């Protein structure tokens, strides 16, 4: 019988008054009878305060606490049982791996022994074959030597016989014998080669050392040393950015790694794995349709850490069109943190979330007109002031302007943060400033703007190699200059058709070192050599007189453009 059944049959009584326990003192945490309540557990007596509740309410609290604790205890025991199962399975797997490893070693040693024995048998066959050849040659030499000895001895005996006979006969017959014997003796070589006696076995000592040191190795699962890392989203046909990182040293090469890519359609393909200069590995592949793509990487048949990895694949094209509130113009858009800054040729900068939500604005001094902007890695922002003909750099503590007297129509800006140089597109030239001192360094790409009041050189940026890209608005072209400002080539020419630009306004370089240009009524993607890749927008997307543009992300490939024609910011996957 349980404790609760016993207590139900014989309810406990007060040990002092032998009365039923009908109330409960919460302060003393004890069940008491009514006499105890009146005598020793008054709810207020001097400094001692007691809180009395009925035994039923106390039981309800007890029951609630008990039930909650039982739930927690159940969760705890469930977890412990799960952990115990995992550990039991681990012991089972450990035992299996031990037996598998021992069998593997035995099999490997047996295979090595078999191969070595086969190699030894082959060498023995070679010895026997070589012996037969050399023995045959040696036997022939012995036979030749025996014949020569017999010939010499026969002629010596003949000469002895002639010496003892008739003198005339000796002279007539003996001279021929002497000449023949002399020729035969002279034909005998002075020395004899031992070439046919040489058969040697040369040991491969390096092989012995190799077998001694490295017939294999004992390790735990190599998958514990590798981890899958990469972008969790991409656009269709974009190269996936998934790397296999070594989180600890282990002996492994690309051939040991098996990677598969499961397309959103369900098709699974084998992916290539390439080693980089850091000793890590990259999974190579593309997804051709939108949906969820899975990258599965295994070593020795087991998943590495964080594999399989799911990647969201997004369609290319117009993602969102954000209407800019109360904007008289829309000149530029830049990414600032996770948000967007939008300029509209006024003394404030709009702030929007990428979702399109307006989250306020940054107000500047009266008379300032923000044209084009550039966001630096440290959070500082620079902008060209078209009316005041200067560049303003806003930091956390100070706002400083420079270029007055040097600039006339400042437009696009690019900052090389490594060299601390700012490039400013300024109609007939590109001006270079030191962003620390604000001093002009030099002017490059100066051109004749005869016939153009302004808007000739309208934007500037740098390639990944540090070369300078300069965009010409009225001359309808993109030119490439070296880092000293010397013209290298015209990358993109003017024209209405795809692959050419007409009245371009903005140029950026993405992480693939490809070039994106906004011009007249379209956005176009070019290679770093100027080869046309594709048009990013469609005619129905409403691109009309686009100005500045900004790379929002590389995975997925996404760009925002200030669409001056309808006063919107349009965001594209490409």
Residue 83 lies in a domain: yes
**pLDDT tens digits, one per residue of 12-58:** 888 888 888 888 888 888 888 887 877 777 665 455 578 888 888 88
Is 556 found in the same domain as 465? yes
Are 46 and 58 within one domain?
no
Q: Is residue 252 situated within a structural domain? A: yes
- 370 within a domain of the structure (yes/no): no
Tell me: do 187 and 205 sit in the same domain: yes
Tokens of 153: 């001895």
Inside any domain, residue 401: no
Q: What is the CATH number of the domain that holds 281?
A: 2.60.40.10
pLDDT at 1: 46
- In percent, how much of the chain has pLDDT > 90? 49
Residues 423 and 504 in one domain: yes
Burial of 496 (0-12, 13-18, 19+ CB in 10 A): exposed
Q: Are residues 422 and 543 in the same domain?
A: yes
Q: Find the domain containing 95 and state its range.
A: 51-217
Domain identity same for 142 and 285: no
pLDDT exceeds 70 at position 433:
yes
Q: Supply the CATH number for residue 44's domain.
A: 3.30.160
pLDDT in tens, 456-499: 899 999 999 999 999 999 999 999 999 999 999 999 999 999 99
Q: How many domains does the chain have?
A: 4
Nearest to 412 by CA among 375, 370, 362, 460: 460
Q: Is residue 347 part of a domain?
A: no
Residue closest to 325 by CA, chosen among 357, 296, 366: 357
Among 186, 217, 248, the domain boundary falls at: 217
Q: Looking at the structure, tell me whether residues 323 and 306 fall in a common domain.
A: no
Residue 61 lies inside a defined structural domain of this protein: yes
Residue found under tokens 């992916």: 271
Q: Are residues 30 and 59 in the same domain?
A: no
Same-domain check for residues 24 and 113: no
Say what the pTM is: 0.63
Q: Same structural domain for residues 201 and 300? A: no
CA distances from 173 to 166, 180, 523 (A): 11, 11, 117
- Angle between helix 55-164 and helix 167-187 axes, rounded to 10 deg: 160
Do 13 and 126 share a domain, yes or no? Answer: no
Asked if 207 and 234 sit in the same domain, the reply is: no
Last residue in a domain, options 253, 282, 314: 314
What is the structure's pLDDT at 538? 96
391: in domain: no
Model confidence at 255, pLDDT cuts 50, 70, 90, reads confident
Q: Which residue has the higher pLDDT, 26 or 250?
A: 26
Q: What CATH number has the domain bearing residue 428?
A: 2.120.10.30
Domain boundary among 167, 197, 217: 217
Q: How far is CA 351 from CA 47, 58, 399, in A?
A: 62, 58, 19
Averaged pLDDT score across all residues of the chain: 88
């Amino acid at each position: 019988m349980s404790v609760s059944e016993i207590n139900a049959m014989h309810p406990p009584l007060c040990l002092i008054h032998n009365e039923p326990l009908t109330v409960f003192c919460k302060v003393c945490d004890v069940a008491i009878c009514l006499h105890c309540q009146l005598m020793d557990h008054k709810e207020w007596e001097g400094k001692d305060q007691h809180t009395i509740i009925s035994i039923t309410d106390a039981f309800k609290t007890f029951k609630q606490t008990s039930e909650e604790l039982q739930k927690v205890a159940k969760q705890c025991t469930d977890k412990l049982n799960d952990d115990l199962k995992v550990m039991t399975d681990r012991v089972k797997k450990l035992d299996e791996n031990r037996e598998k490893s021992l069998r593997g070693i035995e099999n490997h040693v047996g295979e090595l022994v078999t191969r070595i024995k086969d190699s030894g048998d082959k060498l023995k066959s070679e010895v026997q074959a070589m012996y037969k050849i050399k023995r045959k040659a040696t036997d022939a030499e012995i036979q030749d030597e025996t014949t020569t000895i017999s010939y010499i001895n026969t002629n010596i005996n003949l000469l002895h016989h002639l010496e003892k006979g008739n003198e005339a006969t000796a002279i007539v017959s003996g001279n021929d014998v002497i000449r023949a014997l002399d020729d035969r003796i002279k034909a005998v070589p002075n020395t004899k080669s031992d070439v046919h006696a040489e058969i040697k076995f040369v040991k491969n000592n390096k092989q012995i050392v190799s077998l001694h040191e490295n017939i294999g190795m004992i390790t735990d699962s190599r998958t514990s040393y590798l981890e899958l890392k990469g972008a969790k989203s991409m656009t269709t046909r974009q190269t996936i950015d998934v790397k296999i990182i070594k989180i600890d040293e282990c002996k492994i090469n690309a051939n040991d790694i098996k990677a598969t890519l499961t397309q959103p359609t369900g098709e699974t393909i084998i992916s290539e794995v390439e080693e980089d200069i850091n000793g890590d590995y990259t999974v190579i592949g593309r997804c051709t349709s939108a949906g969820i793509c899975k990258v599965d990487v295994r070593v020795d048949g087991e998943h590495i850490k964080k594999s399989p990895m799911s990647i969201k694949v997004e369609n290319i094209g117009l993602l969102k069109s954000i209407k800019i509130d109360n904007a008289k113009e829309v000149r530029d858009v830049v990414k600032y943190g996770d948000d967007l800054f939008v300029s509209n040729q006024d003394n404030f900068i709009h702030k929007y979330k990428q979702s399109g939500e307006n989250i306020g604005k940054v107000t500047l001094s009266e008379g300032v007109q923000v044209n084009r902007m550039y966001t630096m890695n440290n959070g500082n922002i620079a902008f060209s002031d078209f009316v005041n003909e200067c560049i303003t750099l806003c930091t956390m503590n100070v706002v400083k302007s420079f270029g007055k007297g040097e600039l006339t129509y400042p437009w696009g800006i690019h900052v090389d943060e490594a060299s601390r140089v700012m490039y400013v597109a300024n109609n007939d030239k590109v001006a270079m400033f030191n962003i620390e001192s604000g001093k002009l360094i030099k002017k490059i790409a100066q051109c004749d703007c005869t016939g153009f009041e302004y808007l000739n050189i309208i934007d500037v940026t740098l390639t990944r190699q540090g070369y300078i890209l300069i965009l010409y608005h009225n001359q309808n072209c993109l030119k490439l200059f070296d880092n000293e400002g010397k013209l290298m080539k015209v990358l993109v020419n003017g024209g209405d058709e795809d692959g050419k630009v007409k009245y371009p306004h903005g140029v950026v370089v993405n992480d693939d070192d490809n070039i994106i240009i906004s011009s007249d009524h379209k956005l176009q993607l070019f290679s770093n050599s100027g080869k046309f890749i594709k048009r990013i927008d469609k005619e129905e997307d409403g691109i009309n007189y686009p100005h500045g543009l900004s790379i929002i992300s590389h995975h997925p490939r996404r760009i925002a453009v200030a669409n001056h024609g309808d006063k919107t910011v349009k965001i594209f996957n490409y």
